[in-house]
Chain A
């Protein structure tokens, strides 16, 4: 009997010792992370040197403002009010007093300093985990002073990457079609700007109509359409050198050229005799290959980031819908089955989603769906909007939106807008003129 009890005790004891309580945490806050961006400290000599060169009173504050704005625009961070900061930048940069930053509810802190060394701008910055009281990252950059805005963007990218786990998208540019004049007499120029709207430049004079500029995913090359003697031509433009060339003369109309993921091919559609099919052109040997061969209208092709698949829109099922096929044109599958018309599919650089424009009951939507067509989510609805383009990290979409004109034909405008995948963080991107057809570059610092 005693032996039995002992055995029972032996069996039960380890069970009790192992019984650790487990609690599953499957929900949390989707509110932006509170972050304190302390102005970068700067010594008096450096301050006066930068003031002389850049005409900026305090370049340290200016750079930290860029970082602050970028983080805020992302919708993932909540930069705290600088007036609430208890520690001075010079001291915070040396050693933050975490209790002070904790007090204002900051969870992350950015500090740093700027110096003028050998006619160059040197920026050191550190990212701190306020709650853990430890440094998360420390980096220093040296560049020519005129690159100060880019330094702000690079710092933003590094912070974003460290805190979210995915690459940033701040050190990037956006190419778009600048529009001026009345709706019936628009002057369209090719223009480029930083993703935050600064450093805007016009690349063409507006003599010719320009359409659908698209950045290469690998470098600073752009392909676009421009009309010459009423015929569209596909051009290649190297943003770094300013050199450009005609890709080739193609029979019939050409539409929507776009780069392959390795930047070595251009995929586009040609229209002949009322039929439009998808073709690729190798940029090295200029060999053109036909990808689709169907009596319907196939347009707007876009490669998957691994280059194995192509998404496009086609009316082969009577109404315009989105399709996916192998890169050689085989295994064509329809993926959109919702009500309405679907167009301009663009494969996400992350590979997980396809963005599209949808027209349903007279309204335009920008949405995303998985690459098999499931999980359709409409992010934004408006009178007229289209042409989504992904940020290089696949988190944000930029597109353009037109406003309704009144009975006199007045009040028309076209503006760039961005929205992130949550569908909540919708913002207008400031441009000097009206704007359409935006395309996001890859990271410049890659």
Chain B
């Protein structure tokens, strides 16, 4: 009795059946890198043409022979500058060499005692000399002066590089902000800042199961580097930055 009442009370029994398209399972087939579909004769011709064009493009893009020349040409220049900077630094800051300077000064002093006018001349001359040296050093600023430190980039150099990559990196917005996802990429750079080689340091993690987010982040970082090149690297000190490591971490941005 109860069943009949319950059935009678169903408000939709008398209505038309729901007209919905049936859910049909879709066969998903993994297909190979190269398509197995035989090309039509016309398509073949088109592909061959495309390939020829690509070859041309590739040859246009291939690293020109100049690259080898660039190294010796470009590398010594900054070194010379560094040497010059070193010399200046040595004069001002190197305590070991300060002794000789003091000695020289003392010698001057000895002479100056005899001819006060020549002291003024010497001072003037030294001013001119230092001004000339500064000119030769391409107007080195205080920031650039810091770049002499072989252990890293100066703050302004680092900021310039960061600002450039910030603009190129499209952060995948679906990444979780509460997971540690740090992608470290080691770069080998040409003197003009273009990429010679890029290598993901935790490459093995890319293909591990459950590391989909890491893979997505790593790929986005690689895209950013490619999009940005040539990188905004300092014009001097190639030896310092010819190898760089970029650590991509999106957590700060994703946390908002």
Using CB atoms and an 8 Å cutoff, list the residues of chain A in contact with chain B.
16, 19-33, 76, 90-91, 94-95, 97, 99, 107, 124, 129, 131-132, 135-136, 138-144, 146-147, 150-151, 154, 160-166, 192, 199, 201, 203-205, 207-208, 220, 226, 228, 239-240, 242, 244-246, 350, 352, 377, 393, 395, 422, 444-445
B211: nearest chain-A partner, CB-CB: A165
Residues of B within 8 A of A21 (CB): 152-153, 240-241, 243-245
Q: Is B88 an interface residue (CB 8 A)?
A: no
Q: How far, in angstroms, from A91 to B29 measured CA to CA in the complex?
A: 23
- Give 5 A-B contacts (CB < 8 Å), ordered by A residue: A16-B150, A19-B152, A26-B249, A163-B216, A422-B256
Contact A24 B216 (CB under 8 A): no
In contact, A22 and B174 (Cβ under 8 angstroms): no
A27 touches B50 (CB 8 A): no
Q: Are B253 and A226 in contact (CB under 8 A)?
A: no
Report the nearest B residue to A32, measured CB to CB.
B170
Q: Contacts A23-B245, A205-B15, A239-B18 given; indicate if A151 touches B174 (C-beta within 8 A).
A: no
B26:A154 contact, CB within 8 angstroms: yes
Residue of B nearest to A141 (CB): B26
Q: Report how many A-B pairs have Cβ atoms within 8 Å.
A: 203
Known A142-B27, A201-B20; contact A19-B253, beta-carbon cutoff 8 A: no
Asked if B4 is an interface residue, CB under 8 A from chain A, the answer is no
Q: Is the CB of A28 within 8 A of B169?
A: yes
Q: Which residue of B lies closest to A245 (CB)?
A: B10
Complex interface: chain B residues within 8 A of A201 (CB): 18-20
Query: Are the C-beta atoms of A139 and B31 separated by less than 8 Å?
Result: yes
Kindly state whether residue B57 has any CB partner on chain A within 8 Å.
yes
Residue pair B217, A165 in contact (C-beta under 8 Å): yes
Check if A146 sits within 8 Å of B21, measured CB to CB: yes
CB–CB A23/B26 < 8 A: no
Interchain CB contact under 8 A, B24 and A144: yes
| Residues of the B chain whose Cβ atoms lie less than 8 Å from the Cβ of A141 | 26-29
> Which of A20, A26, A165, A352 is B243 in contact with, Cβ under 8 Å?
A20
CB pair B247 A24 closer than 8 Å:
yes
13-37 of chain B: CB within 8 A of chain A: 15, 17-33, 35
Inter-chain contact B50/A228, CB cutoff 8 Å: no
Tell me if A26 and B253 are in contact (CB < 8 A): yes
Residues of A within 8 A of B150 (CB): 16, 19
Q: Are A20 and B11 in contact (CB under 8 A)?
A: no
**B216-246 CB contacts (< 8 Å) to partner A:** 216-217, 219, 221-224, 226-227, 240-241, 243-246
Which chain A residue has the least Cβ–Cβ distance from B225?
Answer: A131
Smallest CB separation, B167 vs chain A (Å): 7
- Which residues in A have their C-beta under 8 angstroms from that of B221? 25
Nearest chain A CB to B229 CB, angstrom units: 10
Which residue of chain A is the closest to B12 with respect to CB atoms?
Answer: A244
Query: What is the CA–CA distance of A144 and B212 in the complex, to the nearest angstrom?
Result: 31
Given A124-B31, A138-B31, A142-B26, A164:B20 Cβ within 8 A? no
**A239→B20 contact, CB < 8 A:** yes
B165 in contact (CB, < 8 A): yes
With both beta carbons as reference points, the residue of chain A lying nearest to B149 in the complex is identified as A19
| CB within 8 Å for A143 and B158 given contacts A203-B18, A244-B12 | no
Structural contact, A140 and B29, CB atoms closer than 8 A: yes
At the interface with chain A, which of B39-47, B103-111, B129-137? B39-47
Do A226 and B11 form a contact, CB below 8 Å, given A99-B57, A107-B223, A131-B223? yes
Chain B nearest CB, measured from A135 CB (Å): 6
Which residue on chain A has the smallest CB distance to residue B231? A23
User: A208 with B153: in contact, given A25-B249, A29-B170, A135-B33 (CB under 8 Å)?
Assistant: no
* Pairwise interchain contact A23-B172, C-beta atoms closer than 8 A: no
Residue in A27, A204, A239, A352 whose beta carbon sits within 8 Å of that of B253 in the complex: A27
Please state if B252 and A25 are interface contacts (CB–CB under 8 Å).
no
Given contacts A25-B246, A139-B28, 18 further A-B contacts (CB under 8 A): A21-B240, A23-B244, A29-B169, A30-B253, A32-B170, A97-B53, A129-B223, A136-B219, A142-B29, A146-B21, A201-B18, A201-B20, A203-B18, A208-B11, A242-B18, A352-B176, A395-B174, A444-B23
The residue that B170 contacts in the complex, of A19, A107, A204, A226, with Cβ under 8 A, is A107
Which 3 pairs between the two chains have the least Cβ-Cβ distance? A164-B174, A28-B169, A165-B216
Name the prevailing secondary structure of the B interface residues: mixed
Check B22–A23 contact: CB distance below 8 A.
Answer: no
Q: Is B162 an interface residue (CB 8 A)?
A: yes
A76 nearest CB neighbor, chain B only:
B173
Name the B residues within 8 Å of A142 (CB-CB).
26-27, 29
CB atoms of A164 and B227 under 8 A apart: no
Q: Whole-angstrom distance from the CB of A91 to the nearest CB of chain B?
A: 6
Instruction: Tell me, rounded to whole Å, the shortest Cβ–Cβ distance linking A423 to chain B.
Output: 9
Once the chains are docked, how many angstroms separate the CA of A25 from the CA of B11?
Answer: 61
Known: A139-B30, A154-B26, A246-B10. A165 touches B175 (CB 8 A): yes
Closest approach, in angstroms, between the C-beta of B34 and any C-beta of chain A?
Answer: 10
Q: How far is the CB of A186 from chain B (nearest CB, A)?
A: 17
The B148-207 residues at the A interface (CB cut-off 8 A) are 150-153, 158, 161-162, 165-176, 178, 186
**CB-CB contacts of B121-134 with A at 8 A, as 1s and 0s?**
00000000000000
Contact A30 B171 (CB under 8 A): yes
A162 to B213, CA, bound (A): 9
B54 at the interface (CB under 8 A from A): yes
Considering the complex, give the chain B residue whose CB is closest to the CB of A33: B170
Q: B9 at the A/B interface (Cβ < 8 Å)?
A: yes
**Residues on the B chain within 8 Å of A99, using CB:** 57
Decide: A25 near B27, CB < 8 A? Known: A95-B47, A246-B9.
no
Residues of B within 8 A of A164 (CB): 172-175, 216
A225 to B237, CA, bound (A): 73
- Chain B nearest CB: distance from A148 CB in Å? 11
In the complex the two chains form, what is the Cα distance from A161 to B175 in whole Å?
11
In angstroms, Cα B18 to Cα A132, docked, is 48
Q: Is the CB–CB distance between B250 and A242 below 8 Å? A: no
With A19-B150, A95-B50 already in contact, the answer to whether A25 and B216 are too (CB < 8 A) is no
Cα–Cα distance between A226 and B9 once the two chains are bound (Å): 11
Q: Which chain A residue lies CB-closest to B2?
A: A249
Q: Would you call B166 and A246 a contact (CB within 8 A)?
A: no
Contact in complex: B161, A23 (CB < 8 Å): yes
- Which single member of A95, A135, A136, A166 contacts B174 (CB below 8 Å)? A166
